Amino acid sequence: MHGTHTLPVGPVRDGALDLLKWLALLCMVLDHLRYVGLSLDGLYVPGRLAFPWFCLAIAANVHRVKIASVSGRYLGWLLLFSVISEVPYRMFIEDADTLNVLPTLALGMLVARGWQQKALFDRGLALIALVIAAVFSTHLMFGFFGVLLPLAMLLVFRRPWYFSVLPGVVCVAANQWQILLNSGSLVAIAGLAACLIAPLAGLVLLRHAKNVSPPAMRRWAYTLYPLHFLLLLIVRKIIA
pLDDT of residue 81: 97
User: What is the rounded average pLDDT for all residues in the chain?
Assistant: 90
pLDDT of residue 67: 63
Percentage, residues of the chain above pLDDT 70: 92
Q: Tell me: pLDDT of 2 over 90.
A: no
pLDDT of residue 240: 77
Select the highest-mean-pLDDT range: 5-9, 15-19, 72-76.
Answer: 15-19
Q: Cα(175)–Cα(1) distance, rounded to whole angstroms?
A: 32
pLDDT of residue 9: 47
Average pLDDT of the segment spanning 187-214: 93
pLDDT tens digits, 34-63? 999 888 899 999 999 999 999 999 999 888
- Of the pLDDT bands very low, low, confident and very high (cuts 50, 70, 90), residue 66 is low
pLDDT of residue 74: 85
pTM, rounded to two decimals: 0.90
pLDDT tens digits, 112-167? 999 998 889 999 999 999 999 999 999 999 999 999 999 999 999 888 888 999 99
Average pLDDT of the segment spanning 78-106: 96
28 phi and psi, to 5 degrees? Answer: -65, -45
Average pLDDT of the segment spanning 208-220: 88
Percentage, residues of the chain above pLDDT 90: 70
* Residue 203 Cα distances to 41, 55, 113, angstroms: 27, 11, 19
pLDDT tens digits, 70-86? 677 888 999 999 999 99
